[in-house]
């Protein structure tokens, strides 16, 4: 197991992180006045290496601990690692769930085809009508040499919406494509921007990555650890790995450490916050209390995404400073910041964002929006499906692929 994981991580490190380490060492050498002559290496990053490396590591570990039997058939083994719907951006599947499905003879089923096409259409709706419409607007602010504080605040909030729409759309398309083949993939998102804490957020966002980090990084680090300080250290290391996995840049490292700090701080202050809520009688208004926690969590996540979106560390700290400035949140400044939107694009975004929120509202109250829709008349369902397809084909725009395709 150790040899196998070492080989896997060596190749991941070589292809993805060699230049990151090389350039970091060059910066240190320049600062110290040393001579450093190793040049930048032109390396082509293999498709989906981050995702299938994690699947391979989980496979080896599960076999070692007896949770999964080694697959002797090279065909099933290969399809598990290279199953095309989820290869580029997940979900990150475990062998215990995916391989048994590959061994079952799949027949073309009407229900699977219909559900798969619904999920694919919904994915294209979020991708082309929300994510890719927001992408150039967010880029216009983050690429600007002198953005205003209010523009950074607005662009960061919009980027959070863009990132969710983009990544969840990719998962929808992957899940839908697999379902058409009779394969059930793991749900990767559960409305993360309605989380009431950072811990809750990570149980809703990129769920297959979060559970992978929990099972293969956090739990091993916490084995036989009882001191709270040791557990907190394991939390920080886990989020540090998450940051490094997302990208070979110090901005991602800092982003991971921020979430590690959030998680530790949230756990350490939980009892104090509960007593404070009781003292101000906020707990007597559960709806208000819940929405306050949702708002605070969302803003904390948005702040961390300043580092996720910025190109360099210095730029990230400049943007973070603007994001935290009180003047950046002034109503006048925020209204003026909306000038980054062309009027037509703003109206379209508001309309389709409302559709997305209605869809999520139905999911929160009925479990599945698709089941809710199936209870209505054929005319209603057909009208909604035509609306989805028509909107994507006529009003949808295309960008530079999926954001998580780069990880």
User: What per-residue confidence (pLDDT) applies to 238?
Assistant: 96
Domain layout of the chain by residue ranges: 2-103, 111-406
Instruction: Determine what percent of the chain is predicted with pLDDT higher than 70.
Output: 100
Query: Which tokens belong to 185?
Result: 């993939």
CA distance 378 to 177: 24
Q: Are 238 and 212 in contact (CB under 8 A)?
A: no
Closest CA to 69 of 100, 27, 106: 100
Q: Mark whether 246 is an active-site residue.
A: yes
Q: Residue written as tokens 């209603």? A: 380
Whether the Cβ atoms of residue 256 and residue 244 lie closer than 8 Å to each other: yes
pLDDT beyond 80 at 46: yes
Instruction: Exactly one of 73, 206, 246, 376 is catalytic; name it.
Output: 246
Contacts of the segment 64-67: beta carbons below 8 A, 24+ positions apart:
64/1, 67/96
Written as six digits, the tokens of 110 are: 């009407």
The total of other beta-carbon atoms located within 10 Å of residue 114's CB is: 15
| Confidence grade of residue 117 (pLDDT, cut at 50, 70, 90) | very high
pLDDT for the residue numbered 172:
95
Mean pLDDT of 166-188: 94
Q: What average pLDDT does the structure give for the chain?
A: 91
Please give the pLDDT value at position 407.
Answer: 66
Work out the widest C-alpha separation in the chain, in whole angstroms.
74
Work out the angle between the directed axes of helices 343-366 and 132-142 (0-180°, nearest 10). Answer: 120
pLDDT, tens digit, 9 for 90 and up, residues 295-305: 999 999 999 99
Average pLDDT over residues 122-146: 93
Q: Where are the alpha helices (DSSP H) in 205-285?
A: 207-213, 219-222, 228-246, 250-268, 270-279
Q: Is 198 exposed, middle or buried (0-12, 13-18, 19+ CB in 10 A)?
A: buried
**Nearest CA to 136 among 402, 343, 400, 407?**
400
Best mean pLDDT range from 46-55, 169-178, 372-381: 169-178
Gyration radius from the chain CA atoms:
23
Q: Look at residues 187, 217, 220 and name the one whose alpha carbon lies nearest to residue 205.
A: 187
* Ranges assigned E (strand) in 75-146: none
pLDDT band at 366 (very low <50, low <70, confident <90, very high): confident
Angle of CA points 175, 180, 182, to nearest 5° = 90
pLDDT at position 32 is 80
Q: What whole-number distance in Å separates Cα of residue 325 and Cα of residue 319?
A: 10
């Amino acid at each position: 197991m150790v040899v196998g994981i070492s080989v896997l991580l060596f190749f991941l490190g070589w292809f993805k992180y060699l230049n990151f380490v090389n350039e970091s060492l060059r910066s240190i050498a320049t600062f110290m006045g040393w001579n450093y002559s190793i040049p930048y290496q032109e390396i082509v990053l293999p498709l989906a290496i981050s995702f299938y490396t994690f699947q391979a590591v989980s496979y080896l570990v599960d076999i070692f601990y007896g949770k999964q039997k080694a697959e002797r058939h090279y065909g099933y083994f290969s399809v598990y690692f290279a199953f095309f719907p989820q290869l580029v951006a997940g979900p990150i599947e475990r062998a215990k769930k995916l391989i048994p499905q590959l061994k079952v003879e799949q027949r073309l089923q009407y229900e699977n085809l219909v559900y798969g096409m619904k999920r694919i259409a919904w994915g294209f709706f979020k991708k082309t009508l929300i994510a890719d419409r927001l992408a150039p607007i967010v880029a216009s602010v983050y690429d600007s040499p002198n953005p205003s504080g209010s523009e950074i605040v607005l662009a960061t909030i919009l980027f959070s919406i863009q990132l969710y729409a983009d990544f969840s759309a990719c998962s929808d398309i992957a899940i839908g494509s697999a379902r058409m083949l009779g394969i059930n993939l793991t749900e990767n998102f559960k409305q993360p921007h309605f989380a009431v804490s950072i811990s809750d957020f990570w149980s809703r966002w990129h769920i297959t990555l979060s559970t992978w980090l929990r099972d293969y990084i956090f739990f091993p680090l916490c084995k036989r650890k009882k001191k709270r300080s040791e557990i907190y250290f394991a939390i920080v290391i886990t989020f540090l790995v998450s940051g490094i996995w997302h990208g070979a840049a110090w901005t991602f490292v800092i982003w991971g450490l921020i979430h590690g700090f959030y998680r530790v701080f949230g756990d350490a202050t939980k009892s104090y916050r509960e007593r404070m809520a009781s003292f101000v009688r906020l707990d007597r208004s559960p709806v208000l209390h819940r929405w306050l926690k949702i708002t605070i969590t969302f803003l904390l996540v948005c702040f961390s995404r300043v580092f996720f979106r910025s190109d360099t560390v210095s730029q990230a700290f400049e943007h973070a400073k603007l994001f935290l400035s009180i003047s950046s949140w002034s109503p006048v400044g925020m209204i003026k910041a909306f000038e980054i939107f062309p009027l037509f694009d703003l109206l379209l975004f508001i309309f389709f964002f409302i559709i997305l929120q209605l869809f999520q509202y139905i999911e929160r109250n009925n479990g599945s929006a698709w089941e809710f829709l199936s209870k209505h008349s054929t005319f209603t369902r057909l009208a909604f499906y035509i609306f989805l397809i028509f909107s994507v084909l006529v009003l949808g725009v295309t960008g530079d692929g999926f954001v998580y395709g780069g990880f």
